[in-house]
Structure 1
């Protein structure tokens, strides 16, 4: 027995299966309590999302010298359309005193300040967002809203500003782990029942995937606590979807191959060893592709993107380990009955060879060139929607699927006060140059007013209120003008931060990440495919089809976002996240297909090998794609536009790749290119006719078996 066969037999031996099960039980008992602590280890402060080297991030760090804690300004805005009365002003003043006693409110409460038109007031309340981030911010803002709403004078009240907006974001992400987990598990259960048509079998992949999620969450918690790994609500939520989705995919592929081998081997332990030996390399290569793609995110400028890479890579590695050890052990322990009511009896024919996908393959084989050309043109037509893609960032109002209180309050604030009120720029400089820096900022177009500088330890800080809304393009242009003006002051060492500067720097960093990471991921995936398939043509063809699938998915998604969901644009990181997920996961299905095609091509020639490969893997890959697409679609249930867009586009891309690209386009290209698909490998020198002649040699037709 070869070394690889011996390794494949380890998780499913007569005795070793029990050892594997015991090890996983010990691991789950030891690490299970730690997994529940992951949410408490999340870092949702602004610095955990922003580009680390950006000017606005440096301002966030340096301004701590001027205040004992990190703060976010909540703006309580009052409105009376027929004019604010003296009683209204007195009541707002009393409330400002009460605001100062709310837990986590720090520093002086400023206001109420009457608007120029006399129909609105604003009170600025600084809230501590130190070590607990928005976990403390949300209850503080809730208290402000309850206090302000009880004024009883007929005014409408809202809490907005950076503090109010962040609190609503925290509310949108509240329970993301539990709600996503429940929704994802429900989807997986339903689809596994439909796939297996067995009342029992679905439980084993789900238990294995659930165990992988628990262990990965525990490992990530330990790294976050003791190794400085950054985890936020976004990465923790996507981890759930990816581990359950990818883990179930690997389980489907392995279980399908095991069911095949049960028809060829009487001993189920031997059948599982053969299944692991044959399917294991494809699963391993698939997970390596995903892990390598995720680790490419480590070069990102955005802290949130850079932290996402290792979190998801850990999840995929643990999912792989569970599906290659725990799941095989469980399947062998329970025996053939778990497939009831359709048990794969020894010696029975494999039904996939004459099933639906065999007929699809035969249809493609009659005219493969026309099929792949027509399919490619149809996908290219879908790319037309890219002209409406607007991945330039989302405004505050556009970042929620609904209209929370902070968004309404921001709109009221903009009606009665300068657009940048409540979210001013923060300017830091050397104390000696502060007057000149302030004068330069004050004279810049788009700046409504500046505050007096505060000096401490040789540095000065002042704020500049903008005339335009803080998340508008006009406000971002003002940031650039202010920076140019204050940077030009000799010896001032000035820096400009604040909410608008953060939005501007984050958008530019995301653009840089798109340009750097996308080519890197393509190169890494291409290298893995070349090593796996021992060819050059096949990897290039597969990469091209996945990129085409990605562009088509983005084009269709953009049209839906604009004309169906009426979203106002896409997040800056949207193209990168969708690309990484679709390329890594789309290549998964091509690996599942092409490793089987290559295996069969060595026996039957490439054309017949493509037909057999599609027939054998078509059903399981389609099921895997439906499950993965459905798990990502669960992200659309969150009231956060950015995640909803990622979920929709990835789900659509996975379906395109599974049902069209992999099953039709790749199969047709493989049949048309024939042996040239494997150039310059050994298989490229053996035509289908030559292989057929070999198989009709001394041992007669069909020699060599399957």
Structure 2
């Protein structure tokens, strides 16, 4: 075919203006992706609902102390016994730390362990600083000065754990972005076999991320939404994955139109007209799905909902404005060196023709076999240990705060420096003290002033209960549950138990409640969207069932991999919740891509022939989209955080299972077997096709 002919000015002016507008958005908003960490918070206590008992305790404690101090525990260990030089070093360090500006008060002097001779000592510093991480870094720098040879000195406690967690998330806006972009670029080059088209798609992803980052930054800075490191990482991955998926669908249809003989402008119009509905439905479904997280009582989950929705919205806008504009401007040149002349390269895929042939020959065997395999895999879901993990288990690499906690637990009551906090009426002090002496509590004492008098504030007293076990352990949470049972039973005390362990316990219980409430809401929302899109009841019910079955199989395989291959200590309940939201919402994406094309073809050819034509037409695109999305979510594993590594595996494996098995075999075979009845009760289930070619 001859090169595209000259066209009226407006036909290229509008695409050029759209491209320039996105370039301006990218230039202005691009820096915000690197600034999101400035408005992110990883403080777990800030995410609990106001009705949580530990939240109420935090509010009541303000009457006793105007500062918001966080403990940093310095633990020193020398096997065989501390020397005089070691103890002198710790005394010097304590004196130096007393002059630091971030102190909430004088450090608690070094306390040797109970062994004879003592092999360890602990020194507690209460940090009152806007940036706990910077304060912990100063402490660690000080402790490296003149340290006796052979003495191991580590900083742990809540402040150090928070600092190490922040350090682990430091790669979100650097390493994660680089890995995600590189992975997408490699896959796109393999898919398109073109140097220019992957660049255009990556530009679309980059502009979408810039726009989303700017919007999230403004909202988080204004306090309208809560942002943490996990949400930030998921935002980056979602934008890259979704924008690439939408681009694959649009570009594939654009190439079809070019091959059919349309000029580049007509091809863009036809491609956009044909794909705007499934892309919009896909984006809308994911947006509605993630917004269901607003029903969560955990602010961290609630914050992810609008953050992810903004990311998907930006990906959609870039895919249906910027990408069509640059495709119109570049035309066939975008695919170079692949041929897109009329009639060239339009052959049907042998692979997907073979798959369609298998579905046509043995549809019932195909769907029953694949469904049975998924059911067997889903049966292993009961082995998933999703009842929470210790805070020290969230790290996949060695960090000082975790090593320090282990040393502390070996030589002292492990809850030293992070006690459970009881707030009670002052006139019930003695009864509460007696009730607080439960199994797992090493020491109970009320807060006193310099003269040793019990401090009262507004008729209340504050009591510290030092736990025998590490404050983030399951044993410590069990102790807090016992503690709550006994002090709640004290008449007239109105006692409440808070502190770091109680915060973790309340977070776990709230997460389990969220999972039970949000999952049914997500299913109802997605089922409603499918019914509106497909104008059917039976097809949406079947499609939703396949997605749920795929999710169950994914979690079953994940349980086996986590327990026996990776040896993970467990999982947080939010892994199941987030996995469900993303897999169901994104799995429905591929259902939409497939079934909207099947519906289009069924109106002309009949449901069975339309199913096979739709499968062949979309099989390569959907599989490529699944590979891209799986690869981008896998990039989350570069951050050394247990939760993100688990989400990376769950979503990556689930998406591949969905695209390779569910969308390629189970759904087409079911649709083919049912025939036009699948569209019941819509008109398509009753009318004959316009053509049987």
Matches within 5 A, 1:130-529: 130=130, 136-149=131-144, 150-152=146-148, 154-348=150-344, 350-351=346-347, 353-441=348-436, 443-453=437-447, 454-529=455-530
Q: Residues 337-379 of structure 1: CA distance to partner in whole angstroms, max 9, x if unpaired? A: 111112321344632x343212211111100000110111111
- State how far apart, in whole Å, the 1-side matches of 2:349 and 2:304 are: 43
For structure 1, which segment, 48-57 or 584-593, has the greater mean C-alpha deviation from structure 2 after superposition?
Answer: 48-57
8 Å contact 1:300–1:517 — kept in the other structure? yes
Match of residue 38 from structure 1: 36
Deviation by residue 1:359-400 (Cα, 9 ceiling, x = unmatched) = 211111100000110111111121232132000111134221
C-alpha contact (below 8 Å) 1:93/1:112 kept by paired residues: yes
d(CA) in 1 for partners of 2:503, 2:129: 16
CA contact (8 A) 2:298 2:511 kept: yes
CA separation of 1:629/1:469 partners in 2, compared to 1, >3 Å: closer, same or farther? Answer: same
Equivalent residue, structure 2, for 1:624: 625
> Partner of 1:201: helix, strand, or coil?
helix
Residue 390 of structure 2 contacts residue 473 of structure 2 at CA under 8 Å; is this kept in 1?
Answer: yes
Distance in 2 separating the partners of 1:369 and 1:381: 18
Deviations 1:497-545 (A, max 9, x none): 1111111111100100100001100000000000000101111111111
CA distance in 2, matches of 1:354, 1:389: 39
Conserved? CA contact 1:337–1:343, under 8 Å: no
Shift of 1:96: 1.0
Give deviations 1:601-638, integer Å, cap 9, x for gaps: 11001111111111111111111100100000011111
**Is this contact kept in 1: 2:45–2:503, CA < 8 A?**
no
User: After alignment, is 85-94 or 617-626 more displaced?
Assistant: 85-94
CA distance in 2, matches of 1:302, 1:371: 42
Structure-2 separation of matches of 1:139 and 1:619: 50
Does the Cα contact within 8 Å between 2:23 and 2:207 map onto a contact in 1?
Answer: no
Secondary structure in 2 matching 1:573: helix
Equivalent of 1:89 in 87, 90, 95: 87
Alignment check: 8 A CA contact 2:43 2:162 kept: no
State which drifts further: 450-459 or 533-542.
Answer: 450-459
Which runs of no fewer than 5 residues in structure 2 stay unpaired?
Answer: 1-9, 448-454
Question: Residue 15 of structure 1 aligns to a residue in which SS?
Answer: helix
- C-alpha deviation, 1:59, in angstroms: 2.0
The answer to which of 510-519 and 86-95 deviates more is 86-95
Deviation track 1:437-494 (CA, whole Å, cap 9, x = no partner) reads 23322x2232111222332343322211012222232221211221122223333332
CA distance in 1, matches of 2:646, 2:168: 15
Counterpart of 1:98? 96
Distance 1:695 1:33 in 2: 54
Structure 1 pair 169/36, CA: closer, same or farther in 2 (3 Å)? closer
Whether 1:28 and 2:26 are equivalent positions in the alignment is yes
Distance 2:471 2:105 in 1: 23
Q: Is the 8 A contact 1:100 1:106 kept in 2?
A: no
Q: Which residue of 2 aligns with 1:544?
A: 545
- Matched position secondary structure for 2:111: strand
Q: Which runs of 5+ in 1 are unaligned?
A: 1-11, 131-135, 697-701
Per the normalisation by structure 2, the TM-score is: 0.94
Which 10-residue stretch deviates more, 561-570 or 181-190?
A: 561-570
Residue 133 of structure 1: aligned partner: none
102-111 vs 26-35, which moves further: 26-35
Deviation of the 1:433 alpha carbon = 3.3
SS in 2 for 1:461: strand
Equivalent residue, structure 1, for 2:126: 126
CA distance in 2, matches of 1:445, 1:566: 30
Count of aligned positions: 674
Q: Distance in 2 between matches of 1:407 and 1:497?
A: 22
C-alpha deviation, 1:222, in angstroms: 1.1
CA distance in 2, matches of 1:631, 1:65: 48
Contact 2:189–2:198 (8 Å) recurs in 1: yes
Moved more, 60-69 or 389-398: 60-69
Q: Return the alpha-carbon distance in structure 1 between the equivalents of residues 150 and 291 of structure 2.
A: 55
**Cα shift at 1:237:** 1.1
Q: Residues 191 and 324 from structure 1, CA distance in 2 versus in 1: closer, same or farther, beyond 3 angstroms?
A: same
Could you tell me whether the CA contact under 8 Å between 1:51 and 1:506 is conserved in 2?
no
Cα pair 1:263 1:346 within 8 Å, conserved: yes
Aligned counterpart, 2:51: 53
Query: Is the Cα–Cα contact under 8 Å of residues 355 and 615 in structure 1 kept in the other structure?
Result: no
How far apart, CA to CA, are the structure 1 residues paired with 2:324 and 2:464? 62
Give distance in 2, aligned partners of 1:571 and 1:476. 15
Looking at structure 2, the residues matched to 417 and 479 of structure 1 have their Cα atoms a distance apart, in angstroms, of 19
Provide the rounded CA distance (Å) in 2 between the counterparts of 1:525 and 1:17: 34
- Structure 1 counterpart of 2:578: 577
Q: Distance in 2 between matches of 1:511 and 1:61?
A: 24
Question: What is the CA–CA distance in structure 2 between the aligned matches of 1:217 and 1:101, rounded to whole Å?
Answer: 40
Moved more, 651-660 or 261-270: 261-270
Q: Aligned equivalents of 1:262 and 1:397: distance in 2?
A: 56
Segment of structure 1 superposing worse, 455-464 or 593-602: 455-464
Higher mean displacement: 174-183 or 624-633? 174-183
